[in-house]
Structure 1
């Protein structure tokens, strides 16, 4: 077999993987759509809208969601075509392996780890914040050293004149990760059922925010819709430019974290009943539904309160803050409860996607076989699920997480751009291959997808870019030290 780093996994090998699939096929198109919605609607809409409006786009936050949504729809169409052709675990990693080559596939798989694992850590910490806020609304307080990581707990103590604790951990974040881990080990059907219930609650809450919030919109808050460029002070005391069209673009990068999730649908191919038809439907439908809801929520938020007033604690829960300012404190209970429940499904889908990417890479020999071991009863990759749960829970409990949102966005944008490139290459390389779903106007859609996602990468925080590139460099070392020597393609022979 070709030893080149650009060797491609033969289609016959993918077909063998599909035939030997050990996972339970229990997911229909609406369950798959709910998985996409479950991952997309979460921390982004409940948290990032405040920071994006105040520090980047102002009322034009709605345009930021449009730009990010356009970048996503280009990628979604390319994902849908690949998902219909190669309905296997591994998402963008698998697609690149069959089209561009092994090294490219490894880079994307390594980037997806950045997306899913760090995304789950970030969401776990966000969930802890909303959970503590919910408890506070009922008069219950967890000791500050049990609800913050050591660094944040020390800062809290100093800010409030308290003695700095000798030990601290974010116990709620640690706990919720293990609840999600247990659900994932029990089985995909149970995970999907739990996700469906949470998605219904989240959609109800989002519709509530849009319909009720519309009565408290003051159109003068939208004027000017795209504010003039000015310097805005950030929490760390630095002054950075905001607003204008550049603010719309940087806002799109900042809230891109809100869109990660629809690609998680493509990791569920091994558990989909009819993956060739249902996965393209679910990918596109979940993205369209969430984009429309995001635009409406951002218009309501910036219409209820001025983007200048979304500061301090309001940045952590901007939607709840807007209703409180509008004299509707009762709504804060509903929104906080919805966010607390909703973030659980985001974690569930991210950790689910992570283990399925590991499963695909382990089947190809690029990472140890430990990651592909299936539980004899539950039919889930239980060992890798426990490992992911351990890592995510520990990091979420003990680490102050600031740049993980941007780093997660980097991994997502990188994967999106590569999928657009891969599907375009395959159209020219293998134009006659059967495509149950064919992306329309691909020669326009794919290049635009590459362009938009690359521009958004360049608009991310500079430190996050450096850390993400460092992560990719570490991945190259692991690939040449372990992945390439142990790749199954070294000894693969087609029948």
Structure 2
């Protein structure tokens, strides 16, 4: 069946030779892209919810487990990147192994990860930006910072900061990947410096008694009139599932393979390095936070009801160091810009790959000869993301982002195993060790996490994928370049 046609490796190699993208990214710029995507405002939020609702002081162990779970997918991504160093990420990998229909579904699912994720990050950035302005005595009117369905007043309203930050990021991206990478590198340095500051400064206010017992006895926690098991070994595992999404984004490195100077070596290095760096930072932040403040004090119904919303800043407030809240808020505000930048960049490269293959309109594969970027592609994406972020309560759809990510992770683990069986002799500059074991672990963990997403997110995501299948049969299948070549032959 033509829907299962596979794009040969030789065709990918031909695309690489014809690519108009400028190869300007070294291994540390690629690593910074990974770090920029993984570390967002979540590091200052998930630590509180993870400690109180799940693992207690043992949250550090939850981060280790989640990091290991990500490594399975990261290793599979790395092997593919060493074989097919092209833009398109999991979409391209599936097209070269499983078949066109699967590649399309993964590409469609990645829109959930990147486009929906970009909208969510833009709205989050707006919240941090408004908080920062209030710290300096500036308050924007509600109608300029709220989407229409969340607005409590009458008349017109929009989330203007979310709209403008998307346009600002697009203006950087269309100038060229090199200038965008330099901006991202600077933001990542500032962001990581702020996190290291939190770790070092917070270490002076640690009370070791807050770590005792390190793994609290299993008990039941009441949350919004429902109860669930927390703490103990089960709490550590459920904590890993809850904070797993702090790690998604390392796959953004693979979307930039077409612009890497030495993709077969540097992309695998950057994927693994960014994951290890972020895991270490997450572990240290969680240890400092649970040492500064007892995990029970993050109870939203307790003595400090607001602590769970901004746990790190609150821990410094209680320690009498309110000034640290300014640094943390500035770091989160600036840091989210790099997350948004990497997500939009990643989505544009996936569209570029799909467009080259004829599965979506050709306008998305036009590369500006001066900047070496898909300028029109970026402008269309920017207009859509900015508009939706400004007028939609996008936070309700955040779980759909996780579904798209986990779906892609699972398919990459399947695809790398299939390619090893189908083409064992193909050149691989990076090989996953103990592949069947690693692939099976990745498939099982990511599928388990997908099953444990909210029912609404599952239904909405499956509905999105169904729409994608319809679009494929109405447009993609008819216009696919592989299909046209088959007809000519």
Q: TM-score range by the shorter chain?
A: over 0.9
Distance 1:76 1:448, change over 3 A: same
What's 1:18 paired with?
16
Aligned residues, how many? Answer: 482
Aligned partners of 2:65, 2:446: CA distance in 1, in Å?
Answer: 10
Matched, 1:219 2:194: no
What's 1:160 paired with?
none
What's 2:285 paired with?
297
Cα contact 1:257–1:406 (8 A) shared by 2: no
Scaled by the length of structure 1, what TM-score is found? 0.93
What's 2:294 paired with?
306
Aligned with 1:441 (options 434, 437, 440): 434
Cα contact 1:119–1:404 (8 A) shared by 2: no
Aligned partners of 1:46, 1:442: CA distance in 2, in Å?
Answer: 35
Give the drift of 1:341.
0.6
Alignment partner of 2:367: what SS? coil
What's 2:166 paired with?
177
Cα contact 1:91–1:263 (8 A) shared by 2: yes
Aligned partners of 1:243, 1:149: CA distance in 2, in Å?
Answer: 38
What's 2:479 paired with?
486
What's 1:41 paired with?
39
Aligned partners of 1:387, 1:256: CA distance in 2, in Å?
Answer: 31
Matched, 1:230 2:220: yes
Matched, 1:396 2:396: no
What's 2:242 paired with?
254
What's 1:78 paired with?
76
> Which runs of 5 or more structure 1 residues have no equivalent in the other structure?
155-163
Aligned partners of 2:284, 2:361: CA distance in 1, in Å?
Answer: 45
Aligned partners of 1:459, 1:79: CA distance in 2, in Å?
Answer: 23
Aligned partners of 2:331, 2:223: CA distance in 1, in Å?
Answer: 31
Alignment partner of 2:427: what SS? coil
What's 1:459 paired with?
452
Between stretches 187-196 and 452-461, larger displacement belongs to 452-461
Cα contact 1:121–1:396 (8 A) shared by 2: yes
Q: How much is the aligned-residue C-alpha RMSD, in angstroms?
A: 1.8
Task: Please list the CA deviations of residues 262-310 of structure 1 after superposition, one character each: whole Å capped at 9, or x if unmatched.
Answer: 1100011111111111111111101111011111111212222233333
Cα contact 2:2–2:483 (8 A) shared by 1: no
Cα contact 2:20–2:369 (8 A) shared by 1: no
What's 1:158 paired with?
none
For 1:415-430, list aligned pairs within 5 A: 415-430=408-423
Aligned partners of 1:413, 1:46: CA distance in 2, in Å?
Answer: 23
Cα contact 1:9–1:97 (8 A) shared by 2: yes
Aligned partners of 1:410, 1:394: CA distance in 2, in Å?
Answer: 23
What's 2:125 paired with?
127
Give the drift of 1:406.
2.0
Matched, 1:63 2:47: no
Scaled by the length of structure 2, what TM-score is found? 0.94
Aligned partners of 1:14, 1:318: CA distance in 2, in Å?
Answer: 47
Distance 1:331 1:72, change over 3 A: same
Cα contact 1:363–1:369 (8 A) shared by 2: yes
> Which runs of 5 or more structure 2 residues have no equivalent in the other structure?
none
Alignment partner of 2:428: what SS? coil
Give the drift of 1:257.
2.5
Aligned partners of 1:187, 1:353: CA distance in 2, in Å?
Answer: 14
Aligned partners of 1:367, 1:250: CA distance in 2, in Å?
Answer: 39
Between stretches 306-315 and 112-121, larger displacement belongs to 306-315
Between stretches 266-275 and 139-148, larger displacement belongs to 139-148
What's 1:323 paired with?
316
Cα contact 2:78–2:271 (8 A) shared by 1: yes
Cα contact 1:262–1:287 (8 A) shared by 2: yes
Give the drift of 1:52.
2.9
Give the drift of 1:172.
1.0
Distance 1:75 1:345, change over 3 A: same
Give the drift of 1:418.
0.9
Aligned partners of 2:365, 2:168: CA distance in 1, in Å?
Answer: 22
